[in-house]
Amino acid sequence: MEDRANAQVNGAEAMVRMLQAQGVRHIFGLCGDTTLPFYDAMLRLDHGITHVLTRDERNAAYMADGYSRVTGRVGVCEGPSGGGATYILPGLIEANESSYAVLAITTDISVASYGKYPLTEVDQEALMRPLTKWNGVIRRADHIPRMVRAAFRAMTTGRPGAAHIGLPYDVQYDPVDMADIWADPATRTYPAYPQAPAPGAARAALEAILSAKSPLVVCGGGVVIAGAWDELARLAERLDLAVATSISGQGALAETHPNCLGVVGSNGGTDETWEAMETADLVVFMGCRAGSTTTARWEAPAPGTRVVHFDSDPMVMNANYPTEVAVVGDLRLALAEVNALLDGRTDVAGFGGAAAVADRVARKFAAFERRAASDAAPIRPERVIAALLKVLPGDATLVSDPGTSCPYLAAFYRLPLPGRRLITNRAHGALGYALPAALGAWFGRPESKVVGLMGDGSFGFACGELETVARCGAPITYVVFSNAGFGWIKASQAADKGGRFYNVDFARTDQAAVAAAYGIKSWHVEAPGELERALAEAVAHDGPTLVDVVVQPLEQAAAPVRRWMG
């Protein structure tokens, strides 16, 4: 690094050096006119950061999101002014509302040209404000170091979230003192500076749980973000508690753990798991906002059910349910305190959660296995999940779009390890997420077999990014659930509108042929008997692969989605 004594760098170089100081290892982005100084600095400086050129700024943000979820590091994406800034928005809002740390750097027109009607002018600060936890456009080069530090502090502390930095073209040429290029190492990963709960809160929560007859723990993504799965397992085993999850909470406990019930709620939940929500006399929401999906639009817990809530964000307390005990703090620290309190007691009996879980899980999977064994064509989605369970290693990382694949994975793919092993964009549910996010996840966790799953509607949103996947040589396996329509909406029209279908179907495309044109080894599968072999070959291949599976349409299927099952 440069001699700091009286040394100066320009603004673009300062940004690169600040990202280096913050421990950034990968940047996903797309070039533009306003990016020229930044790219030149990336080229000339020795910084150890890998820049991944993408084909779309939206996909760059989704890559940064997937990367952040598997690494616990800030995911960084970048793009140019104008259209680049607007395209990057979907990834920012998803990361922010899902509580993952993603930084978007959008270069901008020169400060000197603001208000003069230059090409690509947009008020980036106003544009990004509602979508981010921290947001700023830099108007002086000497502000770059402190604003980068502020962005990283905001993203990694408290409830993690997204940040945006606007970097105008002329600011990239102005001088910055090297002496101000430094970072706080604690904010390289998150959660940074985790806070313990208030004195007495953990004890009150424990006493409330112990006073119940049939408590149920419902875990959201906060448990996984906090890395609290070991402490959760200790608590579940010590009290023999039944533990359910939201989709985002999958991985809070290994789903093969005897106390893990699986997903509850309107997406990925089943009648068997929903019984636990309906019969619990106390629900412990843990790193879970108790939103519409997990509670089936607040159908359960029913009014009068006691609620204990653990979360790092005080804003979720009492937002949807009167809360008997609120424990605000880092989940890992809070659960460690509860476990320490239990260690000092000998008068505590278990609740029989594992036995109740075993009965419900057995009934749920009996129905699943009947459908998965079907030789009918089009192929049943359950058969795809069963085949994946056979051919994938236990440490695989699965990335799903929110459409056809999501409820089946949530309900029936039992993750054998805790941690972030299944990724899906549950906050805003935009199609086209899984294909790029899987590439980001692979860059973050290259030792794991990464599988991206999506419907053919989602595939159409993002298939151009297959060129990036091929160029990077990422050995990702993509699985496309092809039903020639926007299946989720069509199934909803079947359930809610009496089967009056309108503008939800599109022409069938050979996704395998599309992938092959990008240099991806691919298979097209229509016969059920060919499915497992094709998936096994794709997973074993040492480069990128895609398996296009013609599946039963959602409106004809028995998908685990409550609104379609009435």
Q: Which of 414, 346, 405 is nearest to 379 (CA)?
A: 405
Summarize the confidence of residues 387-412 as an average pLDDT.
96
Helical residues (DSSP H) of 111-248, grouped into ranges: 124-128, 144-156, 201-210, 221-225, 229-239
Look at 74-88, 494-508, 552-566 and tell me which has the smallest mean pLDDT: 552-566
| Non-local CB neighbours of 367 within 8 Å, separated by 6+ positions | 270
Q: How many CA atoms lie less than 13 Å away from 236 in the CB half-sphere?
A: 28
Residues 497-509: pLDDT tens digits?
A: 999 999 999 999 9
Same domain assignment for residues 405 and 328: no
Provide the CATH number for the domain around residue 504.
Answer: 3.40.50.970
Judge whether residue 177 has pLDDT over 70: yes
Q: How many CA atoms lie less than 13 Å away from 389 in the CB half-sphere?
A: 20
pTM for this predicted structure: 0.96
Same domain assignment for residues 310 and 430: no
Residues 301-321: pLDDT tens digits?
A: 999 999 999 999 999 999 999
Summarize the confidence of residues 36-54 as an average pLDDT.
98
Same domain assignment for residues 84 and 108: yes
> Does 475 sit behind a cis peptide bond, omega within 30 degrees of 0 on the bond before it?
no
Handedness of CA 396, 477, 422, 30 (dihedral sign): positive
Tokens (6 digits) for 182: 């430094």
Tokens (6 digits) for 492: 């909803």
pLDDT at 562: 87
Residue 196 lies in a domain: no
Residue 445 lies in a domain: yes
Same domain assignment for residues 426 and 289: no
Same domain assignment for residues 182 and 244: no
Helical residues (DSSP H) of 88-177, grouped into ranges: 89-98, 124-128, 144-156
Residue listed under structure tokens 């890998």: 50
pLDDT at 3: 57
End-of-domain residue from the set 188, 223, 238 = 188
Structural domain span for residue 466:
373-564
Summarize the confidence of residues 20-40 as an average pLDDT.
97
Summarize the confidence of residues 516-544 as an average pLDDT.
98
Summarize the confidence of residues 512-535 as an average pLDDT.
98
End-of-domain residue from the set 188, 215, 230 = 188
pLDDT-above-70 percentage for the chain: 99
Residues 423-479: pLDDT tens digits?
A: 999 899 899 999 999 999 999 999 999 999 999 999 999 999 999 999 999 999 999
Q: What is the dihedral of CA 87, 90, 91, 94, to 10 degrees?
A: 170
Domain count along the chain: 3
Cβ contact 19:103 at 8 Å: no
Residue 466 lies in a domain: yes
Which of helix, strand or coil describes residue 566?
coil
Same domain assignment for residues 126 and 243: no
Kindly state the DSSP code that residue 296 receives in the 8-state scheme: T
Residue 366 lies in a domain: no
Q: CA–CA separation, 458 vs 405, rounded Å?
A: 11
> Which burial class, exposed, middle or buried, applies to 108 when counting CB atoms under 10 A from its CB (0-12, 13-18, 19+)?
buried
Planar angle of CA 219, 222, 227, nearest 5 degrees: 100
Cβ contact 338:212 at 8 Å: no
Cβ contact 285:311 at 8 Å: yes
Residue 1 lies in a domain: no
Give the Cβ contact number of residue 76 at 10 Å.
28
Residue 211 lies in a domain: yes
Same domain assignment for residues 177 and 225: no
Q: CA–CA separation, 459 vs 433, rounded Å?
A: 9
Residue 194 lies in a domain: no
Which of helix, strand or coil describes residue 78?
strand
* φ, ψ dihedrals at 115, nearest 5°: 80, 0
Helices 405-412 and 381-391: crossing angle in degrees, nearest 10, is 50
Judge whether residue 6 has pLDDT over 80: no
Residue 2 lies in a domain: no
- In order of 212, 228, 395, 450, the CA distances from 422 in angstroms are 32, 16, 11, 10
Q: CA–CA separation, 20 vs 43, rounded Å?
A: 14
Residue listed under structure tokens 């309906």: 278
Judge whether residue 2 has pLDDT over 70: no
End-of-domain residue from the set 167, 188, 209 = 188
Same domain assignment for residues 130 and 176: yes
Provide the CATH number for the domain around residue 270.
Answer: 3.40.50.1220
Same domain assignment for residues 281 and 151: no
| Non-local CB neighbours of 165 within 8 Å, separated by 6+ positions | 103, 104, 105, 106, 136, 137, 138, 147, 148, 151
Q: CA–CA separation, 355 vs 357, rounded Å?
A: 5
Which of helix, strand or coil describes residue 274?
helix
Residues 123-158: pLDDT tens digits?
A: 999 999 999 999 999 999 999 999 999 999 999 999
Q: CA–CA separation, 39 vs 379, rounded Å?
A: 47
- In order of 266, 403, 519, the CA distances from 458 in angstroms are 21, 8, 20
Query: If pLDDT is split at 50, 70 and 90, which confidence band does 565 have?
Result: confident
Q: CA–CA separation, 220 vs 427, rounded Å?
A: 12
What beta strand segments (E) does 260-393 contain?
260-263, 282-286, 306-311, 325-328
Taking all residues of the chain, what is their mean pLDDT, rounded to a whole number? 96
Cβ contact 53:29 at 8 Å: yes
* φ, ψ dihedrals at 439, nearest 5°: -70, -40
Same domain assignment for residues 293 and 205: yes
Same domain assignment for residues 378 and 516: yes
Q: Which of 159, 133, 126, 165 is nearest to 147 (CA)?
A: 165
Kindly state the DSSP code that residue 508 receives in the 8-state scheme: -
Same domain assignment for residues 516 and 554: yes
Residues 320-357: pLDDT tens digits?
A: 999 999 999 999 999 999 999 999 898 899 999 999 99
Judge whether residue 1 has pLDDT over 50: no
